[in-house]
Amino acid sequence: MKKNNTIIRKITQLASHINNDILTGLLIIRQASPNYIPTFTQMDLEDYLHKNQSEENSRRTPWYHVAHAPDGMYIAAMLCALRSILPSGPLLYSLEESIKFSKSDEAAVHRMIDFLSAISIADISLPEIHEICLSKQAWNAPVVSNRFHTPSYMAHLILGLLDFNKDGNVYDPCCDSGTMLCQISQQIPQTSNFHFYGQATNQTAYRMCHATFFLHDISVDFGDRPANTLLNDIHIGQSFDYILANPPFNLAHWCGSMYPQYDIRWQYGPPPRSNANYAWLQHIISHLSERGRAAVILSNGTLTTQTREERSIRQCIIRDGLVGAIIALPPKLFYGTKIPCCIWLLDKSREPGSTTLFIDARQLKLTIEKSGCMKEIHKLAELVQQHRSGTLIEKTNWYAVATLKDIEQKGFVLSPNLYTQTPTISLKPIKKNRLYFTELINKLNHRLGNHTLSGFIQQWSHVQTPNHWGNALLPELFQIFGGLAKEKAAFGHGIPMVGVKTVIKHAFLPDRLPSYVDATEVEVQKYCIKAGDILLNRTSETVEELACCCIAATDQNAVYGNYVKRLRLIETEYMNPFYMIAYFHSAIYRQEVEKVSPVYTTRANMNVERLSKIRIYYPDTTMQKKIGDTLFAIFQFLKDGCDSELVKLLKQFMRLLIEQVITYPVLCSQKEEVYDR
């Protein structure tokens, strides 16, 4: 194993200096020359010759002519050797053209030839070397045109999810390098009768697919040419029993001027020109046999998109009972990108009325390295198998089974967190923090001395928090207003504007705002900000930063932007706005946000419908005022500036105050526990 690792490291190091097609050609020639005698030490050579090898046989190998080519003639020798090995066809012609016009350093090619000449192919799998070099390139290459090399762990996962338990035809409509289809073909038992098909969208991918399968000595039908799968389906009319696909995510302008509006594949409606995700899904569904299954890796946006065409197509696919499972995966599982993704498991053989399995895999320890996640892959595959057999019915915080009616009630949104149990907030660590909260109060009082703020903090040493809490839905307490929408040219000058970043960063609205917008007097009046108004960001990159809240302590000469909503209390007599900012920073509120928000989406967003389902918990007005006044006093103190250590202590105090006097008693109230400090 150690020797293998050394060889792999050396070859990948040398490969970084030469053209990938030259490397592919060298590996093909070396693999076709098993009788070539490596340049061993004399003792090794004698052992080698004992095994009925001869120098004469070695000289007859294609590799011998490459290894002994004069300086400057390596490329010519390679081309000659490839012509003697490869049958006339697309791989030979494509490799020839690429190698002829490559610009690799001749000295680097020489070093690679010398190294491959020095090893026995019994010591290392050359197809494995090819795959490792492709993976290495994928790590280092920029993400271009959303094309990804699929890591090997994904092939293992898809193998388990599709369960190749019967012979059949296997198809990958967007092969890229062909590694995923190749890995699947290797793991299926050799005694089985499977046939493999694929399509590569461009000449480079077509060449790499052929090379990958040639090195593994596996037969596959890639058609007679590369072609854009969505515009030129070379396997049209064929049905497949197993389909696996990792198409480019969110491919825009995928059809150019050749939009196939009346294509037979669009049985659920024409997909939008602006995004190919649902074109891929419908293409795959159109190729499924009556017992066919598919595993399709797609962006999370496919689960939640609300564009008219995509929502309609998703609804039809769900109603037809094709969605067997949705698996939402964590980010950083592909080379060169942090984009999270999901797997759609489609199954045409499902019985009418079958349920759908939703898996939220955020907690699983999936990594890009196969060796680090085989246990988790087995866990996912086993879960899918249990659901298929009808033995999985329970709901947990990471998987759940849903009926068509359940999905209809969620508006046909497929984000798994909407179906799984909401993770509970543990009381144990909060209880443990009580003692530290008391110690922190004493420490702050010592630091603050006779400052007015000390009184606000000291009062929490002995306050008994109430056992009884009121609650209401957010629209019962607040009027909700959308923000100012303007053209791009209107920004950068004019009146100050509250944007998303300001809301996320600040609990209280700062005096100076970084953004400006041109607004008419009518717009300024309509989108004004008054004391007590709460501003909420309706969009963010992650659900953790979604629906954050920032309060205006005073009237502001400013407006708020289109990605922000304004919450204005309906009855200030019963609700303290400063208390509300404490509540909006509590774990209870974050839990409410996640209950109604699709976690797995291209970009998290919060609309009025979702806001209307968020529940607000509140104590009596006296307690609200104490909490709110304390936070505002700390905010005023921090505005005047103080040392970093004191800032840190005050931020800890605010976090623990919210935890101890809001989160904990509300949890106890929900659990009907008695809170007794």
pLDDT greater at residue 91 or residue 317: 317
Which residues touch 104 (CB under 8 Å, ≥6 apart)? 17, 18, 19, 22
Short-list 94, 92, 62, CA closest to 78 = 62
Lateral strand order in the sheet of 478-481 = 478-481, 564-569, 534-537, 549-551
> pLDDT for 1-54, tens place per residue?
455 677 778 888 888 888 888 888 988 998 888 777 776 433 344 454 444 445
What phi and psi, each to the nearest 5 degrees, are found at residue 550? Answer: -135, 135
> pLDDT for 249-260, tens place per residue?
999 999 988 888
CATH of 471-618, one of 1.10.645.10, 3.10.290.10, 3.90.220.20, 3.40.50.720: 3.90.220.20
pLDDT at residue 145 in the model: 40
Distance CA 470, CA 488 (A): 44
Strand partners of residue 481: 566
Residue appearing with tokens 């009518």: 522
Percentage of the chain exceeding pLDDT 90:
56
pLDDT at residue 342 in the model: 93
| pLDDT band, very low/low/confident/very high, at 604 (cuts 50, 70, 90) | confident
Distance CA 28, CA 25 (A): 5
Contact 647, 448 (CB under 8 A): no
pTM: 0.80
Distance CA 27, CA 130 (A): 8
| pLDDT band, very low/low/confident/very high, at 146 (cuts 50, 70, 90) | very low
Q: With 50 as the cut, is the pLDDT of residue 675 above it?
A: no
Spell out the CATH class of 152-418: alpha beta
DSSP category for residue 674: P
> What mean pLDDT value characterizes the chain?
87
pLDDT at residue 52 in the model: 45
Torsion, Cα of 469, 470, 475, 476 (10° steps): -170
> pLDDT for 199-243, tens place per residue?
998 888 898 888 888 888 889 999 989 999 999 999 999 999 999
| pLDDT band, very low/low/confident/very high, at 57 (cuts 50, 70, 90) | low
Around Cβ 224, how many Cβ atoms within 10 Å? 9
Distance CA 248, CA 174 (A): 8
Contact 653, 445 (CB under 8 A): no
pLDDT at residue 634 in the model: 96
Q: What is the DSSP string of 324-339?
A: EEEEEPPS--BTTB--
pLDDT at residue 156 in the model: 87
Q: With 90 as the cut, is the pLDDT of residue 334 above it?
A: no
Torsion, Cα of 465, 466, 470, 475 (10° steps): -10
Contact 182, 222 (CB under 8 A): no
Q: Is 408 left (phi over 0), alpha (psi -120 to 50) or beta?
A: alpha
Long-range contacts of 491-494 (CB under 8 A, 24+ apart): 491/515, 491/516, 491/517, 491/518, 492/516, 493/517, 493/518, 494/518, 494/519
Q: For 341, how many CA atoms within 13 A lie in the half-sphere containing its CB?
A: 26
Name which of 14-18, 24-28, 356-360, 370-374 the model is least confident about: 370-374
Which residues touch 87 (CB under 8 Å, ≥6 apart)? none
